[in-house]
Amino acid sequence: MTFPVVNQYLNCLVVSKRSMMRYWLISALLLATCQLRAQDSIWKQKPELRLAGYIEVFYAYDFNKPKGDSRQPFLYNHNRHNEFNLNLGYVKLGLEHTKYRANLALHAGTYVNDNYAAEPGVLKHIFEANVGLSLNKANNLWLDAGIFASHIGFESAVSIDNWTLTRSLLAENSPYFLSGAKLTYTPNSKWTIAALVCNGWQRIQRVQGNSLPSFGTQLTYSPTAAVSFNWSTFIGTDDPDSTRRMRYFNNLYGKFQIGKKFGLIAGFDIGAQQQRKASSSYHVWFSPVLIAQYRFTPKWAIALRAEYYQDRSGVIIPTLNPDGFAASGLSLNVDYTPIPIIACRIEGRWLGSTDNLFERNNNLTNNNIALLASIAVKLQR
């Protein structure tokens, strides 16, 4: 007598389960539709257009009194003697959106003439030209492609952003810019991970006859706002296929802010390049640097730098010296920043070597002393 009741109960239970499944399926579809519409509405949001500009005028007096147009062949910034000149000036147009971004910047100056000498025609005047897309909902995975600042080093071509007026030897002789594609992942506020494919070692156009792209990585760890560690790499070649020599490069540095007034940067670069194609022997170069900054007030600061650069095989800095390039350096700069967008700076710099590496008149000597000054203005709207 109870079986019909049980069957009726089971039938109701099955119907209830089916209804619940339909409910959850419909709810999931509605939720997915809402999410798609929300994402679509984000893409349709109006982007923000930003205009930025930078001008840095400098004067340098090199006590070696070189006769040529440039002070020293291994320098690319502030590299003129006894003249006022424009080191770098640019105008930049930027597009910022939650899901995409773009930058276009054109530049001029002695830095451009020296550092972009290998680039043809109008490409010399491109400071940045890149487009980026967000690849996930959290917007912490980005793909950028084009011409962009190098992932190597703690010093950029924009002097006002650096602790010293002039660049360290390791910065002057590693890439300032790259051309290619970069994938950047920021899982949280402490870690940043990037992987790059590029046209070569500071190349907009790939070396003629080279079919192999170059690669790079970057790992940045910032446990606190006052401490940051960085490890960047480059793997590639700067030769055509017929003479391909692989180059492997590591850049490491730590940046430490000790209180409000004192800061310290410690950096180390080391690279190796095959002596010839398919060789198991390598030429090695390296460079350590230490920079200490003390800020007396928000407007006044000094920075002291000690550095060393060794390239015995002339991979990066070729010389006529049979022992290659090896030099030590010291510099001291004083900065006055009346407002954050303006910096007035004076720097004295000494470079020395056991070999005669530095141009003096029409000869070479084993030391170089220079006094430099600059005024820089950086604007952004």
Q: Which long-range contacts (CB under 8 A, 24 or more apart) does 125-133 make?
A: 126/204, 127/90, 127/92, 127/157, 127/177, 128/92, 128/103, 128/104, 129/103, 129/104, 129/105, 130/102, 130/103, 131/100, 131/101, 131/102, 132/100, 132/101, 132/102, 133/99, 133/100
Name 297's Cβ contacts closer than 8 Å, sequence gap at least 6.
none
Give the angle 7-12-18 at the CA atoms, nearest 5°: 130
* Tens digits of residue pLDDT in 98-125: 999 999 999 999 999 999 988 988 899 9
DSSP codes of every residue in 124-171: GGEEEEEEEEE-STTS-EEEEEEEEE-SS-S--S-GGGSSSSSPPHHH
**Burial zone of 147 (CB within 10 Å; 0-12 exposed, 13-18 middle, 19+ buried):** buried
Is residue 46 pLDDT above 50, yes or no? yes
pLDDT of residue 35: 56
- Do residues 87 and 53 lie in contact, with contact meaning Cβ atoms separated by under 8 Å? no
Distance CA 299, CA 345 (A): 11
For every residue of 204-230, DSSP letters joined together read SSPPTT--PPEEEEEEEEEEETTEEEE
**What per-residue confidence (pLDDT) applies to 103?**
97
pTM attached to this predicted model? 0.88
Is the backbone of residue 121 left (phi > 0), alpha (psi -120 to 50) or beta? left
Q: What angle do CA 167, 170, 174 make, to 5 degrees?
A: 100
Cα–Cα distance, 94 to 109 (Å, whole number): 21
Which of 5-19, 64-78, 249-263 is predicted least confidently? 5-19
pLDDT at 133: 96
Average pLDDT along the chain: 91
**What's the rounded Cα separation, in Å, for the pair 307 and 168?**
7
Does 16 score more than 80 pLDDT?
no
Structure tokens at 309: 């650069």
Question: What percentage of the chain has pLDDT greater than the value 90?
Answer: 82
Q: Which fold has domain 45-380?
A: Porin (2.40.160)
Q: Among residues of the chain, what percentage have pLDDT more than 70?
A: 90
Q: What pLDDT, on a 0 to 100 scale, did the predictor assign at position 39?
A: 64
Q: CA 222 to CA 9: how far, in whole Å?
A: 62
Token couple for 351 = 């470079």
The confidence band for 360, taking pLDDT boundaries of 50, 70 and 90, is confident
Largest CA distance in the chain: 118
